Amino acid sequence: MRKLVLLALLGASTLFAQTKKIVVMGMSEDLVSELRNASPPSVNIVHITNPNSNADVVAIVADSPEDSARRQALLKEVADADAIIGAPSRELINAAKKLKWLQITSAGVEPYLIPEIIDSDIVMTNAKTLSAPAIADHGFGMLLALTRQLNHFIAVQPTEQWERKNFELQELEGKTAVVVGTGGIGSHVARRAKAFGMTVIGVDPKEFPPRLSFDRMVYPDRLDRVIPEADVVFLCVPHTKESEKMYGPSQFERMKRGSYFIALSRGKIYDLGALVKALDSKRLAGAGVDVTDPEPLPKGHPLWKFKNVVITPHVATQGEGGTPRRIELYKENIARFGAGEPLRNVVDKQKGY
């Protein structure tokens, strides 16, 4: 009998030793309960609430709590955590001495490309592709607002004027879209472009078989050759050292007169001054930007003055489908982490995406 008790205690202690601790930040208690219910017994989820947020999932750059009690609670819990799901500050990452996996809440990973992560064995996963449908919708909303001059009609609606004249409205059928970056966002943009009857040219460093949504693919070193073909350029590429300011004065000068520019991924990808110049010179028929550099776009900036520009404050990711997709990713990765299996959405820390 004594031997059986000892074996039972030994088995229990072995199981306890194998339990993996995951600290979850910036989520509602309901969603954390959903994660717990779907998690294997080998995983212990610890939730640190954020009283300053009522969002279901907080996709912020870094959670640096000003509340002293919450900060101390986070520092204490991450000290022996095997994984973190959230947007931890650098202080928290440094405090997590046992960290093996970091699941961040955004697609962009720039704030986390620090030596503590890059030079370690920490596996970092992100939220790429989860908001791609919403972002693609947003991009086409901007384009249609410009080609159908909806921005004009919405602005004059309060005047109750019924004015019919030739507004020279544009149709997308037969036009050419150049999609720079053909990952999650770009592929969804391409699908929508094809549905509108457009020819779609993709620009991406990755080599892959032709996709139904793309009529042609080129590498980034051929970008300048396809820009003159574009009636609209969609910027969907992630921000890396290689992609920073890849769309500059030379690229805007190559754009077809009367074409459109839509920026959806990161503001650091394109030269904002060159965009203003292209609009000033009437080379572009219009532009839509959800991302700028700097952000927020300063008051008094020349871009605000253009009637043929649609500016939104980096909100394209918002959509009712984003949170459910994010939670499903977390569930699957928690199960995989608990079982020691490869994770989804792993970031190449050297490439930065």
Write out the catalytic residue numbers: 266, 295, 314
Rounded to whole angstroms, the Cα distance separating 14 from 34 reads 27
Q: Among residues 236, 282, 293, 221, which one has the least CA distance to residue 255?
A: 282
C-alpha distances out from residue 125 to 110, 334, 342, 345, Å: 13, 12, 11, 5
Tell me which H or E stretch contains 123. strand 123-125
Q: Beta partners for 162?
A: none
- Give the number of other Cβ atoms within 10 Å of residue 70's Cβ: 17
| Helices within 48-166 (DSSP H only) | 68-78, 90-95, 115-118, 132-147, 150-156
Which tokens hold the place of 173?
A: 């059928």
Structure tokens at 197: 């009857």
Give residues with Cβ within 8 angstroms of 105, minimum separation 6: 26, 57, 58, 59, 60, 85, 86, 87, 127, 326
d(CA 233, CA 11): 61
Integer-rounded Cα radius of gyration of the chain: 24
- Give the pair of three-digit tokens for residue 4: 């059986």
Whole-angstrom distance, CA of residue 74 vs CA of residue 80 = 11
Q: What's the rounded Cα separation, in Å, for the pair 162 and 272? A: 36
Please report, in angstroms and rounded to a whole number, the separation of the first and last CA atoms in the chain. Answer: 56
